[in-house]
Chain A
Amino acid sequence: MAKRYDAIIVGGGHNGLVAAAYLARAGRQVLVLEQRHLVGGATVTEELYPGFKYSVFSYVVSLLRPEIMRDLSLARHGLEILPLESTFTPLPGGDYLLRGPDHAQNHREIYRHSPRDADVYDEYGRLMAQMAMAVRPILGMAPPNPAAPGWRDLQSLAQLGSHVRSLGGERFHALAKLMTMSAADFLDEWFECEPLKATMSASGIIGTFLGPRSPGSAYVLLHHYMGEIDGAFRAWGFARGGTGAISNAIANSARSFGAEIRTNAAVEQVITKNGRATGVVLAGGEEIQARVVASSLDPKRTFLKLCAPADLPTEFREAIERYKIRGSSGKVNLSLAALPNFTSLPGAGLHLRGSISISPSMDYLEQAFDDAKYGEFSRHPYMDVLIPSLIDPGMAPPGQHVMSCFVQYAPYNLKGGWTDAQRTAFGDTVVNTLCEYAPNLRENILHRQVLSPADIEAVTGLTEGNIFQGELALNQLFFLRPVPGWAQYRTPVRALYQCGSGTHPGGGICGAPGRLAAMEMLRDGL
């Protein structure tokens, strides 16, 4: 008789691997099934051209929970996180804004643009760090169900209540503002310098189909602030070897605890018997049995593609159909013969070793969003650009470089669809935009990989190519993620769980959904 596992994890992305590692660590027989030839999902490094390694999709790390790194001994399994040092915003008029690791230098630099903002900058940083501390306990808990609370929910709610009380009035009010305002409005209360505001507000739109002036974007700002590295909030890092190194470290950890990982194994269907999940069917027809099945795929893919409609209550199915998961971003990866030379700050230096942000003003970002609202990709897109080979020289041959461009907006539902011609036009727009600031870029491009949201969906399976497996909007967070009543990793199908970014606390290379889901499975007696 074929082996029956304790748990099958559908999808070998970082959350699936984290869930598997925790279950295996608890002594369970776990099998991870990944459709591609390599693990990682959207957290992969691929050497598409000899010597040039791309973090094809996700490209930086900050949100990965420290407790996961510790529990799974990820450093011992090869994870090395290198710091990103700076944020560089080149401006069209030949000026720039550069923030780096040194406090006094930052003050001097911001002072050049706005003496007032230079003084406020620290105060803002302190408040955001406090806010991140304030929401941190929430990241580590399974959301309570306030509508139909059981004993555990009441306990969690009471804990939350006392936690909120402990924040005090000022911090609580700031938190309430962050939860409800737009990033633009929130930042307007603090700053006047356009490139500073725009660059900061950009973290409020990444991965969402919102503009900086859309209400709710301030929360996403906070979401990106919650990352902590070595106890320091707002620290962003680069995994040595690219983001795939993170997946590999988690996979190695999971294997060390005894988990099995199968690649080239696409799950087509979840098998149920009497309303209970009992296993999966792979493409090709192979059936594998398990006591529980946990899907790390996004909610739409899990419930609308893998589950038979008859297995789900109609209301639930409708709620999943309504779940907002809108692709808004693309990715362009370049191999370069030489470094880009920015007109505003020529030569190599600190400014190239961090995030290069194409976000000169609030209007620029909002106009980029305007195009997307009506089904076009932004003619002048927002970009978060990184040169990973300057941080980890192993990413490219000596003297040459790789460049990662996260590009927004690129709506999934593009007018006329994502044809090859549209993809090329999108890639051209990205290169042209960058060349406005660094004209030598074009002649140094050796290879170019352009990924539209449709491409991201096709390769990773992420619905609409949405990097967070669903909008990080207040109506889809915490006890509402992915849908009300089903935020505790369980589903209407017994023994079927969710463990992806579509569950609390959401997307980014965070791992918390995988860990919390594994805890719930174990709590249910797995």
Chain B
Amino acid sequence: MLPGTPFHSRTAPLCAAQNWRRWGPCVVAGSYELQPEREYFAVRTSAALFDVSPLYKYAIRGADAARLLNRVITRDVNRCRVGQVFYTPWCDAAGKVLDDGTLQRLGEAVFRLTCAEPNLQWLYANATGLHVDIEDVSEQVAALSLQGPSARAILQQLCASDLSGLRYFHALTTQLGGISVGISRTGYSGDLGYELWCEAAAAPQLWDLIWEAGLPFGMVPAGILALDVARVEAGLLLLDVDYTSARAAAIEARKSSPYELGLGWAVDLRKENFVGRAALALEQTRPAQWRFVGIEVDWLAVEGLFNAAGLAPQVPTQTLRASVPLYLGDEWVGYASSTVWSPITKRYIGLAHLRAPHFATGTGLQMEVTVEHQRRLAAAQVVDLPFYDPPRKRS
């Protein structure tokens, strides 16, 4: 049996749906209620509390910590100030993405790297000859994510530090009710939100503190199904869903470069040598073959297809983690990897991979839609990401 997280004693009694899902080495709640709708709306209107402990976490310390990380990730660690957080991918030598995650710079030579898959061996492999200490703290560090417009007000009640001064993608260490907690202004929701990091032993106590503080604000515990809708609206990609790690790809065609995933902004070719640099430098000089984009499926087209069959339109209310073909006329031009009905923007949206030259914003396409057992095509359009971007996310 997979273990629960350090919060399991608190999440288990709340999980009325008994909807447990695997996430990495643990099980977490898929949704707490039978219908995850309210948990999603909490992200957008009040606050939702997620247990994100299954993330892999590595503490990287030592004189050469920055050098190691600069060798691994595609962004320039020297530009990451103490107290700042970087989102970044990292690649193999061919410049194909292995994983992506966040890097917190907790001190001049103290970092925490979080990611979706184990990367310990990769870090070790790249640390040869460097003075650096790499520790897998995945089980020692518990993590909560509090996302939603009320997140700041809830935490501020508990926190001595002034959170209004904590900028987007920055972090601080503070005390919450006597517990030492790291707070980063990050999340996976595209909304105002924070992630909290503490010792696993203090996890239940931290949960209780936030629980009490959050209830008057309408905070709810939320599972990964709700988060999966919010992250698509935020245009954030997910490993194993929107791309395959170069480490796991069965065939070459399944590998992607950061440029092909819309992460070109996170590749810094000016910095010292890093894994994949040569390949990426070459790729950058060539026209892109693939691009990761947002698509919006034309609601009237979908409605028309279903109405013609005498049915009300059916759209995925949970993120459909399946590849859906995209066409331009008779030509296959790509695929959507995550599609969902966006409840807040009232749009049928998807994250998609498109082949050149069909990825320009505004390009008209068709997406495959199954209506009454038959494959049909509905009009869709390439749109800019993210789909939902409230000012409060950064303000």
* B160 smallest CB distance to A (angstroms): 20
- State whether A230 touches B341 (Cβ < 8 A): yes
- State whether B346 touches A230 (Cβ < 8 A): yes
Size class of the B contact interface (CB-based, 8 Å): 20 to 34
Which chain B residue shows the least CB distance to A389? B218
- How far, in angstroms, from A340 to B299 measured CA to CA in the complex? 41
- State whether A231 touches B315 (Cβ < 8 A): yes
Interface residues of A in 346-405 (CB under 8 A from B): 353, 389-394, 398-399
- Asked if A129 is an interface residue, CB under 8 A from chain B, the answer is yes
- State whether A393 touches B150 (Cβ < 8 A): yes
- State whether B312 touches A129 (Cβ < 8 A): yes
- State whether B299 touches A393 (Cβ < 8 A): no
Query: Of the 9-residue stretches A78-86, A150-158, A174-182, A410-418, which lies at the interface with chain B?
Result: A78-86
Q: Which of A80, A85, A129 contacts B344 (CB 8 A)?
A: A80
Size class of the A contact interface (CB-based, 8 Å): 20 to 34
Contact A231:B303 (CB < 8 A) given known A240-B45, A393-B150: yes
- State whether B312 touches A133 (Cβ < 8 A): yes
List residues of chain B with CB within 8 A of the CB of A315.
none
- How far, in angstroms, from A433 to B129 measured CA to CA in the complex? 79
Q: Mark A248-264, 1 if CB is under 8 A from B, else 0.
A: 00000000000000000
* B340 smallest CB distance to A (angstroms): 12
List residues of chain B with CB within 8 A of the CB of A309.
none
Query: Of the 9-residue stretches B31-39, B117-125, B131-139, B357-365, which lies at the interface with chain A?
Result: B31-39
- State whether B45 touches A75 (Cβ < 8 A): no
- Asked if A474 is an interface residue, CB under 8 A from chain B, the answer is no
List residues of chain A with CB within 8 A of the CB of B346.
66, 69-70, 75, 81, 230
- State whether B345 touches A75 (Cβ < 8 A): yes
Which chain A residue shows the least CB distance to B298? A70
Q: Which of A228, A394, A398 contacts B216 (CB 8 A)?
A: A398
Q: Which of A70, A80, A233, A390 contacts B44 (CB 8 A)?
A: A80
- Asked if B313 is an interface residue, CB under 8 A from chain A, the answer is yes
Q: Which of A70, A81, A133, A389 contacts B299 (CB 8 A)?
A: A70
- State whether A101 touches B347 (Cβ < 8 A): no
- How far, in angstroms, from A231 to B315 measured CA to CA in the complex? 9
- Asked if B343 is an interface residue, CB under 8 A from chain A, the answer is yes
- Asked if A159 is an interface residue, CB under 8 A from chain B, the answer is no
List residues of chain A with CB within 8 A of the CB of B217.
393, 398
- State whether A231 touches B312 (Cβ < 8 A): yes
- Asked if B46 is an interface residue, CB under 8 A from chain A, the answer is yes
* A141 smallest CB distance to B (angstroms): 16
List residues of chain A with CB within 8 A of the CB of B149.
394
Q: Mark B13-50, 1 if CB is under 8 A from A, else 0.
A: 00000000000000000000011011001001110000
- How far, in angstroms, from A389 to B38 measured CA to CA in the complex? 14
List residues of chain B with CB within 8 A of the CB of A66.
299, 346
- How far, in angstroms, from A82 to B39 measured CA to CA in the complex? 11
- Asked if B153 is an interface residue, CB under 8 A from chain A, the answer is yes
- State whether B218 touches A230 (Cβ < 8 A): no
- Asked if A232 is an interface residue, CB under 8 A from chain B, the answer is yes
- How far, in angstroms, from A318 to B282 measured CA to CA in the complex? 83
- State whether A392 touches B45 (Cβ < 8 A): yes
List residues of chain A with CB within 8 A of the CB of B35.
101-102
- State whether A75 touches B343 (Cβ < 8 A): no
- Asked if A449 is an interface residue, CB under 8 A from chain B, the answer is no
- Asked if A419 is an interface residue, CB under 8 A from chain B, the answer is no
- How far, in angstroms, from A245 to B15 measured CA to CA in the complex? 33
- State whether A399 touches B45 (Cβ < 8 A): no
Which chain A residue shows the least CB distance to B34? A102
- How far, in angstroms, from A286 to B110 measured CA to CA in the complex? 71
Q: Mark B211-233, 1 if CB is under 8 A from A, else 0.
A: 00001111000000000000000
Interface residues of A in 62-110 (CB under 8 A from B): 66, 69-70, 75-76, 80-83, 85, 101-102, 105
Interface residues of A in 201-236 (CB under 8 A from B): 228, 230-233
Given contacts A101-B37, A102-B34, A231-B306, 4 further A-B contacts (CB under 8 A): A81-B346, A133-B312, A231-B313, A393-B218
* A-B pairs with beta carbons under 8 Å apart, 18 shown: A66-B299, A66-B346, A70-B299, A75-B344, A82-B41, A83-B37, A85-B37, A101-B35, A105-B34, A228-B312, A230-B315, A231-B306, A353-B38, A389-B218, A393-B45, A393-B218, A398-B153, A399-B216
